[in-house]
Every structure is written in structure tokens, then in C-alpha cells.
Amino acid sequence: MPGKTLAELIRKREITSTKLVEMHIDRIVEVNPLVNAIVQTAFAKALDEAARIDELMKEETFDTDPKYSAENMPYLGVPITCKEIIFVKVFLMLLTLLIYQLN
């Protein structure tokens, strides 16, 4: 399902961010042993952030605050995976390409 569709489901409160993250984690745990695509995980952090988003959405001002609008935060609450060459705060970066180029 496309990310924008998932974000719409979260905003309509048809699914929580926490539930979506749990489903994402379950799929990673199921498939990764076969494809070995996920090098590092941050499951606990993802669940914490999802819970914070779910709590934020319970606030009265969430739907009217432009800061949280779909235009400003189109993928709020949607889990992602990314290649390890993308710099992400919680992960160690492997500089294999740089090391390779230096040798």
C-alpha cells in the first residue's frame, strides 16, 4: 500500500501509527532472514515515536494545527526503511565506499 494511503488511514484514525509500525516490524522479522536486506534496526525507537504520534493525534488541536497538516507532514506516523548509506541519527554508518576508494 502506498505511503500516502497509509498516512491517510492514520489521519482518519482507521489505524494507529503504533499498529502500523508493529505490522512493519512483523514483516521485517518474517522476511529479513530470507532476503538479508535489513542491516540495523531501531524497533524500540520506532515504537516509541509511533506512540508519541498516536498521543499527539489525541490532542484537541491536532486536526486544526497547520504544523501537523498533511501538507506539512504528509507521512506523519508512516514507518520507513532505508538503505544503510542514508544518514540516520540512530544508526552507525558504514563507510565502505570511502574505504574502498581510498585503497
pTM summary value: 0.79
Q: What is the pLDDT of residue 42?
A: 87
C-beta neighbour count of 46 within 10 angstroms: 19
**4 with 74: CB under 8 angstroms?**
yes
Inter-CA distances, 31 with 3, 79, 86, 95, Å: 20, 16, 22, 26
CA-closest candidate to residue 93, choices 79, 81, 78, 83:
83
Q: What is the pLDDT of residues 6-33, one digit of tens each?
A: 999 999 999 999 999 999 999 999 999 9
CA-closest candidate to residue 49, choices 94, 88, 1:
88
Q: What is the pLDDT of residues 52-77, one digit of tens each?
A: 999 999 999 999 999 999 999 999 99
Q: How would residue 84 be classed by pLDDT, with cut points 50, 70 and 90?
A: low
